[in-house]
Chains A and B, each alone.
Chain A
Amino acid sequence: MKPILLAGLLFLGATTAFAHSKLNTTEPADGAVLVQAPARIVLSFAKRIRLTKVRLRRGDNDAVDLDLTRHKGFATRFAIALPGRGRGLYRIEWRGLAADGHAMRGSFEFRVK
Chain B
Amino acid sequence: MLALPLVTVGCGDEPESFAPSNVRASANATVPTVVNIEWTTDKPSVGYVSYGTTSELGKSTTLETMATTKHTASLVGVSPSTKYYYRVFTWQDLDTGASPVASLTTNAAPSNLPVLTVTGDSASDNGFKELLLLPIIGQKPLVSVVASNGQLLWYYSEDKGRTVTRARFSVDGKSVLYNAIGNGTAPSEIVRVALDGSSVTSLGVPDLGRDFVQLANGDYVALVNDVRPSGTTMLRGDKLVEFDATGAPRTIVSLWDCFDPTQYPGDGANGDWTGAVAISLSGSDDSDLSNDVFYLSLRNLNSVVRVPRATGKCDAVIGAAGPTIPFAAGSSTFVHPGGIFGSAGKLEVLDSDGAGAGMSRALEYTLDATAATATESFRYTPSPPIHVDALGGVAALTGNRWLVNWSTAGKLEVVGLPADAALGKAPDVRWSLTAPAGTTFGYHVRTASLDAPINEP
- A and B associate in one complex: no
Residues of B within 8 A of A (CB): none
